[in-house]
Structure 1
């Protein structure tokens, strides 16, 4: 039944007729930037437990769609892979606060909005991938060292303008200030083995091929590569690197979240809050994090066997993601000033 409802709902125009689904009893309407394989097991478990049907629209541009739909939007919740999209929805006035002890008691403060307009569901770290053959253990242990001259011609990254890098760069501003971060970015750029290109996996491939010795990448890509049966060559890429969680002797590794927010005009508000609370239940946290080799946002939840084997415990930067996001525009400007991508 849910698949049929979803198909009909997705085929409707952006406004007007979409409101039809919102009058159906016991349902929740989800706009999701995350892929189906990541959230469908959770939604099936939620429906089995509560009887509430979950209708989903997947894709990009969903914040803009919500903005266009306005009060007619059927969206109850927005699920995203990062803070940037959550903040975009928040800044456009498309979210509302949720007063829930279940959420605030189980999600650390740095991974939710100060005013409870958005909440993290899983976390991942921005780590350093290092060649097993050409980088000695302990040779690089911090983000700051990425700018050291010894790494000249040995570093690969994706575009400095990508949200993953902008978030890291923004955290550097928050910790060290703008002047330091500009100088650091200039040093990082000087150390690049090639012009920034590709995604995080492409950087690990470049290490495997000898183009560079270290790269920046999100932690969950390691599990995705190591278990990739459709492109088994990626298993070789993953096996060629060690994983370095930076700054373990001081602030800890820079963290990201996938997250969720309640729509400003949620037609099924109570059902939506029930879904949000379910998403931080022990069952949902384990399922959601394991499927993409991420870390549960709720403390004390068992992690996947692969993560335990290859990553272990590590120190997380406790800096609020709200604070980091406040510096993203500055970080983007610095990327332009140092011509990082050119």
Structure 2
């Protein structure tokens, strides 16, 4: 089993900002060769990004990259599938250099739709372990998030929890919360079960969760946490980073919600906890491939990784990056071992299972 390693205590926000300000990556050629010394600023250079990640932290990293290199980052935001279709439609005329999204299956779909090209860079290979990169280098991971069991601290003891499958037990009837089956997060979770356990067992799991719903799926992951705090249910299936966002919210009520719930990493003795990935790919018809490669190198470097993790509470892919204290406090955990591309391969089967079992 691969372990997500927990490192030393997190740096303070001020120290992180100071470090990020000086985190310029070393230059690289189109062949990915590393140059010595500080990055050289260039004039009138750009890199154009199509992204399905809509986080302020990402923009802050783009801004620092521009400050360090002189390369301007132009950003177009949208839904992942819409951006893939746009890239297919634009073809050779596209101005996009990079495609960024939040799901391994979508990254696989982008590759299969022939809108990406391989990236060659010794720096990237050093920054990102092979299991967080496409085996043919068509995409590179930039962060991960675990889909875990979140529980009411005042009503559930962590020792009562064990696996995703155990949530189908009779003891959890009327107590399980989850968002809609239209959520890509849930679709990829179920797709991972199809890959690891087979379609029949995946369907049994989905049916068991539906049978134990505290209510019909409603809202996003934050809303599941709020429903636990309100006593609607006792456990929920959620992404870890939402817990961090709740605890660090500017709204006192959201902070209280975050404080009332605990995080449990399921399946530590079996297949491991489901982890999904945010990733970045070089577009097939990029007009600025060298600049685009430099931005990937920058975003996967230690300082930028630490900043993104501290702001978004995602797990960094760079093993040298230190994580926030909150993430460290959750401890080490085993993650599923599977090819992220399979999340896309089994997406339609997952949707069919959701429809068949009544997971709306």
- Report what 1:42 is aligned to: 61
Q: CA deviation at 1:179?
A: 1.0
Q: CA deviation at 1:25?
A: 4.1
Q: CA deviation at 1:306?
A: 2.6
Out of 153, 161, 164, the residue aligned to residue 143 of structure 1 is 164
- The answer to whether structure 1 residue 264 and structure 2 residue 284 are counterparts is yes
- Report what 1:287 is aligned to: 307
- Report what 1:82 is aligned to: 103
- The answer to whether structure 1 residue 324 and structure 2 residue 339 are counterparts is no
Question: Larger relative CO (CA 8 A, sep 6+): 1 or 2?
Answer: 2
- Report what 2:274 is aligned to: 254
- Report what 1:15 is aligned to: none
Q: CA deviation at 1:339?
A: 1.8
Between 122-131 and 315-324, the greater mean CA deviation after superposition: 315-324
Q: CA deviation at 1:312?
A: 2.8
Q: CA deviation at 1:244?
A: 0.4
What SS is found at the alignment partner of 2:158?
coil
Q: Is the 8 A contact 2:108 2:340 kept in 1?
A: no
Q: CA deviation at 1:284?
A: 1.3
- The answer to whether structure 1 residue 51 and structure 2 residue 70 are counterparts is yes
Give matches, 1:124-135, under 5 Å.
Answer: 124-135=145-156
- Report what 1:306 is aligned to: 326
- The answer to whether structure 1 residue 243 and structure 2 residue 263 are counterparts is yes
Structure 2 residue ranges without an equivalent (≥5): 1-42
Q: CA deviation at 1:258?
A: 1.2
Question: Structure 1 length normalisation: TM-score?
Answer: 0.88
Q: CA deviation at 1:126?
A: 0.1
- Report what 1:70 is aligned to: 91
Q: Is the 8 A contact 1:109 1:320 kept in 2?
A: no
- Report what 1:20 is aligned to: none
- Report what 1:7 is aligned to: none
Q: Is the 8 A contact 2:117 2:282 kept in 1?
A: yes
What SS is found at the alignment partner of 1:295?
coil
What SS is found at the alignment partner of 1:128?
strand
- Report what 2:113 is aligned to: 92
- Report what 1:27 is aligned to: 46
Deviations, residues 218-239 of structure 1 (Å, cap 9, x unaligned): 000001111111x321111111
Query: RMSD of aligned C-alpha atoms?
Result: 1.6
Distance 2:140 2:310 in 1: 19
Q: Is the 8 A contact 2:109 2:344 kept in 1?
A: no
Distance 2:125 2:165 in 1: 33
Q: How many residues align?
A: 316
What SS is found at the alignment partner of 2:290?
helix
What SS is found at the alignment partner of 2:159?
coil
Q: Is the 8 A contact 2:175 2:234 kept in 1?
A: yes
Question: Structure 2 length normalisation: TM-score?
Answer: 0.84
Give matches, 1:169-208, under 5 Å.
Answer: 169-208=190-229
